[in-house]
Structure 1
Amino acid sequence: MADAVPIGGSPGWSVTITDLARFVPSTATVDGEPGNVAVVGLPANFLSSAKTETVQGTVLGRALSIRFTPVNYAFDYGDGESRDSAGPGTAWDANGQAQFTPTNTSHVYKQAGRYTVTVAVTYAADVDLGGGWIPIRGTLNGPPAGQEIRVVKAHTALVLGTCAERPSAPGC
């Protein structure tokens, strides 16, 4: 892993992680399952869309390819709790899990309300000057992505059937 990658064979011209900061991806999003709504006391699942991206850029007058690979996802659940994850999270159905089951990126809210969940993605970078990928020492943080989550209380009641089955039942 290189601290600085020489450009054009000249020792005075090199690329460092700070030279790549202006190219860091800003397209990541964060979403909550199910449907950006959570239930007090049950796990809500969170996912980031950030993935490996390759961009083209010019540094010190030289065109190069830059590959940004996510290495950490810092989830902030908006209620004072946070969690770092090596992965972006996975949808319940992709995991073969039922809704409201714990995942590596899930969170349980203690109170109803509206919360802004954010994810800040940390990226490692590699550059290609035309001869193959060279890893650059250090990491860069992408801008945080946010999503408002509505947390509700759930109440249960014994009923004789659904409102479609018994439209005159209490509460229908």
Structure 2
Amino acid sequence: MPRIAADIQRQFQNLPVSAGRVVAQPSPNTLRGAETNFYADAVEQQFDITMFGQKVHVVATPVQYAWNYGDGTVFGPQPSMGGPLPQDRWGEKTRTSHAYGATGDFQVVLTTSFQGTYSVNSGPPLQIPGQGQFSAPPQTISVWRSLTRNYADDCHVNPQGQGCPGVGAGGVR
């Protein structure tokens, strides 16, 4: 049993624990300067392994989340996995949201820290020292810019007016 306790932390880090996945709202495109809501989709996982001829049951529970937003900004580790927003609230600042200052494609990486317990041969659960850290596959987010232009022409009265469908910026089709 002491050999298992000494080895379990190393084994825990090598288990195929899924860090979860990165979810972005909106996605796959967002706007420069607007808050993009990111959250983790991570769950508790259980594993049955054999160590030194003993049956070991391991439970991995997500407890901390670190976000690398791909533009040099890192947030965490911290305990909030974030959560989804209804579409009419996209753009609001959340605990895990990020506003990009530049356009381009960015690789967002989530690293989830898991706390583990183990039991040997159906015995009582014991705490695994430390935490295991696992990274989710990168999620690409494309940051675009938006332009707003105001025009005084009424396209019904003057269909050739600047800003009317089919008319270029100079007012000519």
Q: Common fold, TM-score beyond 0.5?
A: yes
Q: Are positions 1:73 and 2:65 aligned together?
A: yes
Correspondence 1:103-118 to 2 at 5 A:
103-118=94-109
Q: Which of 155, 164, 168 is residue 170 of structure 1 equivalent to?
A: 164
One-letter amino acid of the counterpart of residue 102, structure 1:
K
Structure 1 gaps, min length 5: 1-6
Structure 2 gaps, min length 5: 167-173
Q: Are positions 1:21 and 2:36 aligned together?
A: no
Q: Which residue of 2 aligns with 1:92?
A: 85
Q: Which of 127, 144, 156 is residue 152 of structure 1 equivalent to?
A: 144
* CA-CA distance at 1:12 after TM superposition: 4.7
Q: Radius of gyration: which is bigger?
A: 2
Residues 54 and 12 of structure 1: is their aligned pair in 2 closer, same or farther, counting only changes over 3 Å?
A: closer
One-letter amino acid of the counterpart of residue 170, structure 1:
C
Q: Which of 53, 56, 67 is residue 48 of structure 2 equivalent to?
A: 56
Correspondence 1:111-130 to 2 at 5 A:
111-129=102-120, 130=122
1:112 & 1:13 partners in 2: Cα distance?
A: 50
More strand by share: 1
Q: Are positions 1:47 and 2:39 aligned together?
A: yes
2:150 & 2:135 partners in 1: Cα distance?
A: 47
Residues 24 and 140 in structure 1, CA contact (< 8 A), matched pair in contact too: no
Residues 19 and 59 in structure 1, CA contact (< 8 A), matched pair in contact too: no
One-letter amino acid of the counterpart of residue 88, structure 1:
M
TM-score normalised by L of structure 1: 0.79
2:109 & 2:83 partners in 1: Cα distance?
A: 16
TM-score normalised by L of structure 2: 0.79
How many residues end up aligned between the 2 structures?
156
Moved over 6 A (4+): none
Q: CA RMSD in A?
A: 2.5
* CA-CA distance at 1:35 after TM superposition: 1.9
Report Cα offsets for 1:14-73 as digits up to 9, x if no partner: 353113222151352112111222211110011211121112212222112111111211
1:97 & 1:76 partners in 2: Cα distance?
A: 26
